[in-house]
Structure 1
């Protein structure tokens, strides 16, 4: 089992590694082509789209893995029929998210001109970019690939994003060095990744029109909606920790500060991609592991702790040089927030296995509470933190939320896996 997890994580980390390397390329191109002020505006548009996508969409890949495995192990239910209904329900959720999210994009783009401080000429581009981001949701095909342990194919499909962003950024810098040019490149990357992911998943399971329903599976299985809503809200708090916080930096500190924070986040949160890869690789095996899942989660957490400490040391030692090389000297103010966000990412990396463990044990609602409460407190502190310490204050609020959330995950993971004491006679 451990060998399979490491192999799956290897494929995911390989994709994340390509993403991280190419992200430095397109970050360097965008910051130098747009400059500090326009890069801040571009950053806010992308953050709006990512916040909308993260909040409006469901983590259907978790559902496909969780209920797809249940269907496979059910001796009464036909496996093919059960999996078909699971994929149909997940697809229906994605379609509903696309429709509602696109409608919400209009109101969001219009209001953002006032509270985030976007230029008036960015209204329509912001709406269109948000709508494209919603149409590019690919959680269900990702779940199909992970259900069948096809991590290599999933990683290959996701690689389309950094590759096309890097190529598109180069073309934009040469022929259309404006915010619109870079938004076109980012939109093309999202659509290409969605198409590649669905094409890869089609060999192992595709939605059948007759099975696409929001009601059929919930009538057959108890707890479906509770699981789906809990994982969605839990994911939304993660989005709030990154994109909504970035939007608040723009709202209270201006587009220039948002650009500085974005560079710090791009570099400092790179380790969080490792945490996401660990969670995605370990979750299917935690579902299958049964009573021994806590042993597996403990091993992963110990490996993650060593990786996290090394990553923080690397950020402290080489952060200034990296910022100057990638974004240029005008972004030097991103160094301190980058270190703070690297520490927050390191804490999240350690907590990834406990998060996956609790979700696998059907404690998704508990995970939601453990993440939502600290994040709400951190967001409430952001205006004051920015007034005191600028971008570093916003990063500190993110660090506080991660510390409290992961501390809670550790406590309750130990609690739910503790063997019951025998009752004295």
Structure 2
């Protein structure tokens, strides 16, 4: 078939499993190579790309990897692997196997690969929280069920399924679609769905609309694509991940949320979507200091907490400082009628005073210019008029952009 795949793991402990995967893929016609990321320094006859070759890709050389400290050696080998994969342009897919250490070593390099490049990770920890390993990428995690410690009746089936999953990704035909429309990113939560759905309907004739669920990884994924140049503009209606960052919720996108505005010169229309809520898991997971706050059970797994006026002011200042560093044209809309479906008259999170504190902090922090503007809107974020205004502002910013060369 002409496809090349890398099979990554530690040959000193998992050579049998790595060879099993390689044989399955080669039988199917894939040029499969074993990449050894063992940190013991011993040569492995099974490896097509030995650990010494991987380690040599480290910016400080192999001696920075082969040190007498396992934790440090794993971290340095992970950096070397990232550089090895970045230097190769002949890799069509990647499969890795490992326990907690191997998963932490291999997945950073997988995350650096482009979205759409097949990536499969067979791991002992894939039935738990995989967010630290998958991040904003499209890694397929498969739970190994048994430990990755030899071949048995279970591991043969699991590893075989993983090999065939990668084979299917490599060989399956994806229908070709003419990508003649520029791609743009939109952020959405359940409580801002009406707004974003109206916007995508209005924008779809002119743009390829990529909607991201604002659950932490969604915001990071959107901004990763924007930073790579794959998105030509952002309609960031749902900045709720900032709530979870500052107040300790479970859907934080981290301190770097909105940093893409300082990195990429792209049109940005944003808003305060769902800044009225912090997300926690079940009620029992709420920190003690929050137990008496205004709460709403979204479902048995998600409990929402209403943000206070003081917290809204804090978020307004945090977001405002990020907006001040924006390189491209920017409009940030303030929906005075409410920032989510729960923040409306008669709804459990309706709190005009808290919203007012958010808007006031933004206006006090953002240094407005003709290119960087805050706009107060008399509507609720899910009102048709609000969506129409956001779309109109975005069209105006995009029409002012210089034509792409060629």
TM-score, normalised to structure 2, is 0.24
Select the structure that is richer in helix. 1
> Which structure has greater strand proportion?
2
Larger Rg: 2
Q: TM-score, normalised by structure 1?
A: 0.23
